[in-house]
């Protein structure tokens, strides 16, 4: 890992299939493009298939040799997650990039009755990963890369009210969901190691990157503030996707690691190893969230838990 790492250093991905959630725009679009450029077959998992098809056409023009497939995936619906995981075009998977997300939305519920941000950002990806895990285990150097956020640092898992039915706040809900992503990535690594699985669970975050998250989720004053800070502080999606791409492809990456930008306060820069907050790496928190997630989604991984001392 060096300060000069860029996408032209991505190792050959020929023969690998990568699933990228939210691949039709922003960080997911860049991630899909660069994995395809490196030779991977990329399944672009998108909530809106029309937008996915348009994005695939755009990528095809940029990377004529790209092998792309568009498949419908709505992470706010467990029915959609199961349908996607069972689709014939989603065969053996070497890379699963849990990238899609929503940010600071008004209080809403998923199709299954979960708080929208927790249900989409965490539970949807938890279910998807569990349903694809057996296929991931067949591929050499298989990796699950879960995209968290700097906002996880201010988050807390509210086990007494996971759906935030009492005292909902859009940013509080987003922070909880991104902390849940971090807790999940670390706990998945623990369980994979305990099972002797070769699959690696890795975490990444994009720093402060300007994407459509800031304009499609928040409302009111927050939306206006983010519009200004996007212009002043944010880096572009091209830079923001680098930690995810590094976590997915670099040969020195180990399970349980977390990658983000190397600049001031991890806001921007080249990929480097960073740290999650203590709550994210607490085995007791990991076990409790895992058990709650299996119960809520009905997806059981069959991986051994790690005793909490």
Catalytic residues: 174
Which runs of E-coded beta strand occur in the chain?
A: 17-21, 41-46, 67-72, 95-98, 143-147, 200-204, 258-261, 271-274
Burial call 92-131: b when 16+ CB within 10 Å, e when fewer: ebbbbbbbbbbbbbeeeebebebbbbbbbbbbbbbbbbbb
What residue has token string 């989604």?
297
Closest CA to 306 of 293, 291, 287, 290: 287
Collapsing DSSP to helix, strand or coil, 26 comes out as: helix
Distance between CA atoms of residues 4 and 215, nearest Å: 31
Instruction: List strands edge to edge, sheet with 17-21.
Output: 67-72, 41-46, 17-21, 95-98, 143-147, 200-204, 258-261, 271-274
What residue has token string 């994995």?
35
Q: How many Cβ atoms are within 10 Å of 28's Cβ, its own excluded?
A: 26
Q: Which region holds residue 227: left if phi is over 0, alpha if psi is between -120 and 50, else beta?
A: alpha
At 201, list the tokens: 């669970």
């Amino acid at each position: 890992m060096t300060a000069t790492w860029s996408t032209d250093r991505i190792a050959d991905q020929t023969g690998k299939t990568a699933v990228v959630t939210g691949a039709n725009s922003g960080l997911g679009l860049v991630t899909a493009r660069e994995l395809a450029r490196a030779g991977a077959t990329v399944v672009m998992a998108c909530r809106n298939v029309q937008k996915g098809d348009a994005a695939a056409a755009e990528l095809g023009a940029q990377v004529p040799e790209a092998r792309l497939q568009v498949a419908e995936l709505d992470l706010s619906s467990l029915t959609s997650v199961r349908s996607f995981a069972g689709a014939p075009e989603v065969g053996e998977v070497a890379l699963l990039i849990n990238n899609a997300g929503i940010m600071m939305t008004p209080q809403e519920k998923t199709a299954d009755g979960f708080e929208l941000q927790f249900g989409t950002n965490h539970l949807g990806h938890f279910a998807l990963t569990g349903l694809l895990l057996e296929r991931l285990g067949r591929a050499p150097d298989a990796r699950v890369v879960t995209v968290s956020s700097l906002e996880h640092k201010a988050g807390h898992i509210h086990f007494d009210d996971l759906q935030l039915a009492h005292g909902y706040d859009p940013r509080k809900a987003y922070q909880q969901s991104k902390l849940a992503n971090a807790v999940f990535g670390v706990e998945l690594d623990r369980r994979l190691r305990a099972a002797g699985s070769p699959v690696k669970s890795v975490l990444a975050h994009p720093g402060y990157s300007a994407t459509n998250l800031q304009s499609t989720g928040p409302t009111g004053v927050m939306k206006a503030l983010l519009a200004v800070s996007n212009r002043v502080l944010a880096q572009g999606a091209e830079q923001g996707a680098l930690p995810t791409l590094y976590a997915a492809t670099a040969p020195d990456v180990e399970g349980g690691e977390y990658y983000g930008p190397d600049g001031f306060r991890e806001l921007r820069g080249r990929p480097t190893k960073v740290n999650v907050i203590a709550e994210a790496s607490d085995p007791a928190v990991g076990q409790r969230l895992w058990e709650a997630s299996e119960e809520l989604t009905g997806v059981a991984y069959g991986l051994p838990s790690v005793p909490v001392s």
